[in-house]
Structure 1
Amino acid sequence: MKWAQSILSEKFPEKMKKRDTNTDYGKWVTKSYYSRTAGRKTKMNVLLPAYYDKEKTYPVLYLLHGYYDDENWLAYDNFINDLEKDVMPFVEKTFSVSTGTENTAIAGFSMGGREALYIGIQHPEQFGYVGAVCPAPGLVSGTDTSQHPGQLKDDELKFDKNNGSPYLLYLAGAREDGAVGDTPSQLHDLLNKNKVDHVWQLLDGTGHDESSVEIYLYNYMQMIFK
C-alpha cells in the first residue's frame, strides 16, 4: 500500500495519448457468453496482451462499466453472481489465464466501481487487487435510504479476516464530480474508520467521465500484478 501511494500520478501523461506505430498494444476481441443470472446472452470486450501466446498464461483484470454504459465504454447488485458463475469461468475456459489472487484484479467506474468494491470485499480470497474510481452511492446506506438501503452496513465495509485481504485496495474520487458527489470521500472515511488499509486519491480538474478513468487506470495498471 505504501509503495502504491508513492507512485500516484495526479495527471495523465500527454505522451500516453499518442499512439506509437512501432508498439504492439495488444488486440481487442468481443465475445458473447450466456448469463444465467440475467437469462440472456451478453457481450464482453477482452484486450489480449501484446504477443498473446496460448502456450503462456496471463493475469486478468476485470473492468466494470458504469450504469448507463456498456461493454464498449469500459453491473448492478446481482452482477456478483454473474461474475462468479459465468464471466470468470468463461474467461478461464476461453483464454490462457493465470489463476489465484495474485493474478486476479477487479476495478470499475461509477456503478461499476461500487460493484467492484462490493465484490472485492465479499471475495478477497478471489481478488488480490480491488479498485474503484468515482463509485456510485449505495454500497452502504446514505441519506436517501428509500432509493437504496445499502448493500452493506457501515461496519461491514471491511474484509473478513477469515478470508484474508487483497494486496491492494485503491479508491479514487473526483473533486468536481457532479454525479456521485462526495460518495468516494465518504467511503474513504468509512474505510479509515473500519481500519481498512487502502490507497486514496482525490483527483483535481476531472469529473464523472473518462478524464478521471484514464488517470485512475494509468495508476492502477502500474500497481497490480507486482
Structure 2
Amino acid sequence: MKTRIRIFAMLILFAIGLAACGEPSPAVEQLPVEQPTRTPGPTLPPVEVSRPPQSTATPSPQIEISLSGTCAGTGEVKYYKLDSELMNGELYVSVYLPPCYDAARAQGYPVLYLLHGQTFDDQMWLDLEAGQIADELISSSQSQPFLMVMPYEEFYYRQPDTTNYPEVFTDEVIPFVDTTFNVCTERACRALGGISRGASWALRLGLQHWELFGSFGTHSLPTFKGDLDDLPDWLAEIPDGSAPRIYLDTGRFDPEVKTAYRVEQVLNEKGIMHEWHLNDGRHNTDYWFAHMREYMQWYAAGWEEMEPEQ
C-alpha cells in the first residue's frame, strides 16, 4: 500500500514538472537609457528656460563695465529649448553671452560653437571653465567679446549614420542663433570646437561645411567609422585657399592617439595648414581642463583682425 502511495505521489510531482516546463519564460523588460534630467520649459517656438547650472564653474549673470571702456566682469549663461522638427522633439541649447553684451551693437559678435563628448551634455565646456576663461580674455582685451553656443546631443549613443544631429546643428541651431542674437553671420565670425565625440562631429562638420566656419578644433579626436577613408575626398572638395583654420590636439596616452595622428598626417599630405599638439595626458577631464585656456586663446585669435566696436 505504501509503495502505491509513493508511486502515485511521484507521478503527481512529475506531471507538475512537465507543466512548469511548458510555460513560456517571462519577457525581460528593456530599460530605457537614462538621460540627464531637464527642467521642463514653456511651450515653443524657441524659449528661454530656467535650468540651474550643474557646476559652480558656470559664470554668474553679474555684469561690470570698466571706466576705460573695456568690458570687464562676467558674462551670462542662458538656457533655451527649441522645438526641433528634425528631431521630432525638444532640443536644449546653452548660450554664453559675453560681458556687456549689447543686442543693439552695430557690429555683430563672433560665435564659438562647442560640442560635448559622449555621456556628457551641453554643460561640459562650462564645467571645464570655458566661461571663466572667456570672461578673462574679454575683460583683459585679449579677445573680442564673443558668444559661445553649446547644443545638447541627446542621443549621443547612436551611430553617426543613424542620427540627423548634423542637420539639426546646421539647419536649426545656427539659424536659431543668427536670428535670436546680435551675431556676425559671416563665415569668418564662426568657429567650431569639439571634445571626444564632439571632436568627431567637429571634423565632419568643419570639413563638409567649410563654408560655414572660419575655424574648427578637435580635442582628443576619435574619428567615426569610415571618416579616415573619406577625409581625402572632403579636403579635395574645399577650394584652394578656403580651408578653415584647424587645431588638433590629443594626449600621448589617449587610446585614440593613433587616429588623431593619422588625421594630422593626411592634412600634411594634402598641404592643409593646421596646428597640431601632442601633449602628455589621457582621454579624460583632467586633460581637457589642463588645456582649456589654450583652446580658448586659439579660437579667439581667429577674430583678431576683426575691428572691435568702439
Give the equivalent residue in structure 2 for 1:156: 233
Shift of 1:111: 0.8
Q: Distance in 2 between matches of 1:168 and 1:43?
A: 28
Aligned residue among 85, 104, 109 for 2:171: 85
Q: Distance in 2 between matches of 1:85 and 1:100?
A: 16
Aligned residue among 97, 100, 110 for 1:59: 110
Shift of 1:83: 1.2
Greater CA deviation, 128-137 or 164-173?
164-173
TM-score normalised per structure 1: 0.77
Shift of 1:217: 2.0
Give the equivalent residue in structure 2 for 1:144: none
Q: Distance in 2 between matches of 1:127 and 1:33?
A: 23
Higher relative contact order (CA 8 A, sep 6+): 1
Give the equivalent residue in structure 1 for 2:246: 169
Give the equivalent residue in structure 1 for 2:278: 202
**Is structure 2 residue 187 aligned with structure 1 residue 122?**
no
Q: Distance in 1 between matches of 2:195 and 2:263?
A: 14
Aligned residue among 116, 132, 135 for 2:221: 135
Q: Distance in 2 between matches of 1:106 and 1:152?
A: 22
Contact 1:33 1:41 in 2 (8 A): yes
Aligned residue among 96, 104, 107 for 2:182: 96
TM-score normalised per structure 2: 0.58
RMSD: 2.5
**Is structure 2 residue 80 aligned with structure 1 residue 31?**
yes
The one-letter amino acid paired with 2:210 is P
What per-residue deviation string (whole Å, max 9, x for no partner) do you get for residues 43-74 of structure 1?
11111011111012211010011121111113
Shift of 1:211: 3.3
**Is structure 2 residue 310 aligned with structure 1 residue 224?**
no
The one-letter amino acid paired with 1:165 is S
Q: Distance in 1 between matches of 2:205 and 2:230?
A: 15
Contact 2:228 2:263 in 1 (8 A): no
Residue 162 of structure 1 aligns to a residue whose secondary structure is coil
List structure 1 runs of 4+ shifted beyond 4 angstroms: none
Unpaired segments ≥5 residues, structure 2? 1-56, 65-71, 126-152, 305-310
Unpaired segments ≥5 residues, structure 1? 1-16, 139-147
**Is structure 2 residue 90 aligned with structure 1 residue 41?**
yes
Contact 2:74 2:99 in 1 (8 A): yes
Name the CA shift for 1:53/1:154 in 2 (closer, same or farther; >3 Å): closer
Residue 177 of structure 1 aligns to a residue whose secondary structure is coil
Q: Distance in 2 between matches of 1:219 and 1:172?
A: 14
Contact 1:105 1:127 in 2 (8 A): yes
Contact 1:34 1:40 in 2 (8 A): yes
Name the CA shift for 1:200/1:162 in 2 (closer, same or farther; >3 Å): same
Shift of 1:97: 0.8
Shift of 1:167: 4.5
What per-residue deviation string (whole Å, max 9, x for no partner) do you get for residues 157-178 of structure 1?
4152438524411111111224
Shift of 1:201: 0.7
Shift of 1:26: 0.7
What per-residue deviation string (whole Å, max 9, x for no partner) do you get for residues 161-220 of structure 1?
438524411111111224x3422111111211222111111112x322233334142442
Contact 2:210 2:244 in 1 (8 A): no
